[in-house]
């Protein structure tokens, strides 16, 4: 799953079938922040789209 970033365009037709582009509002949250928060056991559900959160929980 790809979470879009501000000022960066992704053409969904170029993605492999196994990759999904999240259709969600853009937030200024870095992947580093998400990884650190997960490693520390913090609750990050409110920073992520519900589908992304569910996938990361697995």
Residue 52: what pLDDT? 87
Exposed, middle or buried: residue 16 (CB in 10 Å: 0-12, 13-18, 19+)? exposed
Residue 49: what pLDDT? 84
Residue 57: what pLDDT? 79
| CB of 5 closer than 8 Å to CB of 21 | no
Q: What is the pLDDT of residues 10-57, one digit of tens each?
A: 998 999 999 988 888 877 788 899 989 999 999 999 888 898 888 887
Cβ neighbours for 33, distance < 8 A, ≥ 6 positions apart: 47
Domain ranges of the chain: 24-57
Residue given tokens 């509002």 in the structure block: 25
Residue 43: what pLDDT? 93
Residue 16: what pLDDT? 95
């Amino acid at each position: 799953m790809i979470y879009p970033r501000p000022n960066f365009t992704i053409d969904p037709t170029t993605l492999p079938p196994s990759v999904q582009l999240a259709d969600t509002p853009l937030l200024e949250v870095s992947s580093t922040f998400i990884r650190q928060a997960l490693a520390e056991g913090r609750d990050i559900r409110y920073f992520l789209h519900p589908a992304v959160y569910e996938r990361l929980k697995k």
